[in-house]
Each structure stands twice: as structure tokens, then as C-alpha cells.
């Protein structure tokens, strides 16, 4: 069911940053959302694939028309829904294989610090392309393996 995911890690919870490294990871995540906020038009319908804890999805919801955060972890989505859900910000579990929306649905898709956890990146990109409107855009981030990821 979660065939794309090799491991689920790197979940950042702002109030639980216990070390300098965790806080720096949090700031890197915030930078990606700040870039998305400046790049995505205010009335956009946005999808976040791999929303994690939900704080970034919530931050971006204050700028866009509507945003949906997807994640493969049910507990993470339950937490995000309780803490951050609003009229224009919702969270849903998905199977990590097929994004549960029709073709050409979203103005923008974002996915931060996700691709490095996947086994099947071709399906991941294909699914994002499928649900993205033809004039939409995709913002993706991934850590620099040589500086940050352990073997």
C-alpha cells in the first residue's frame, strides 16, 4: 500500500525542536514555505504531497485560496487535522501511490523534503503532473545529500 515510501522520517514538529540541528531543519522547511508564499498566486488551489505535521500547510493557507495536505501516515494526518484544519486548509491520508484527485485539478503542487524518502520517484512525479493544471507549477525541495543525509 505504501510502496513508494522507503521510510518515513524527518517529521518536524516546531515546538519539539530539541537541538540546534532540529531547529535548523525547521528553518529550512520554513524557507520553502516562504518561497512558495511568494511564488504561488493568492487565489490558487494548492496540493501539498507529504504535508507531515501540517504547520507549513497551515502557514500557506493564510495566503492561498485553498490547500489540501496529503500524507501517508494516518496519525500524522489526525494530528494535523486537529491542530491546523480550517475552512481553506484540510488534511487527508492517501496511499502513497495514487493522488486521490482528478487530472488537472490544482494550480500548484508543493512537496518539501519528500522525494528522498521514495522508492518509486517516477510514479510520484507522474501523479503530481497528472493532477496539476497544464499552466500550473510544482515546487519541490530535497536536502543536499553530501551535506545532510547520513549513509
97: nearest Cα among 79, 76, 111, 118: 118
The whole-number pLDDT of residue 118 equals: 84
The whole-number pLDDT of residue 147 equals: 54
What are the pLDDT digits (tens) for 85-99? 999 999 999 999 999
The whole-number pLDDT of residue 21 equals: 72
How long, in residues, is the chain? 151
- Distance CA(108)–CA(46), nearest Å, equals 5
The whole-number pLDDT of residue 80 equals: 95
Q: What predicted TM-score, i.e. pTM, was given to this entire model?
A: 0.82
In the block, residue with C-alpha cell 490558487:
44
Residues of the chain with pLDDT under 50: 1-10, 151
The whole-number pLDDT of residue 38 equals: 95
Cβ atoms 69, 81 nearer than 8 A: no
Amino acid at each position: 500500500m505504501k510502496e513508494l515510501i522507503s521510510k518515513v522520517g524527518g517529521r518536524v514538529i516546531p515546538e519539539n525542536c530539541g537541538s540546534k540541528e532540529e531547529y535548523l531543519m525547521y528553518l529550512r522547511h520554513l524557507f520553502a514555505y516562504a518561497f512558495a508564499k511568494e511564488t504561488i498566486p493568492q487565489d490558487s488551489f494548492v496540493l501539498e504531497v507529504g504535508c507531515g505535521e501540517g504547520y507549513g500547510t497551515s502557514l500557506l493557507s493564510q495566503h492561498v485560496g485553498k490547500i489540501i495536505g496529503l500524507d501517508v501516515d494516518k496519525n500524522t494526518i489526525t494530528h494535523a487535522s486537529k491542530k491546523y484544519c480550517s475552512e481553506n486548509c484540510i488534511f487527508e491520508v492517501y496511499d502513497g501511490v495514487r493522488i486521490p484527485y482528478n487530472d488537472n485539478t490544482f494550480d500548484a503542487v508543493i512537496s518539501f523534503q519528500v522525494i528522498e524518502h521514495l522508492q518509486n520517484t517516477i510514479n510520484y512525479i507522474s501523479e503530481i503532473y497528472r493532477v496539476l493544471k497544464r499552466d500550473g507549477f510544482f515546487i519541490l525541495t530535497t536536502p543536499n545529500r553530501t551535506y545532510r543525509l547520513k549513509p
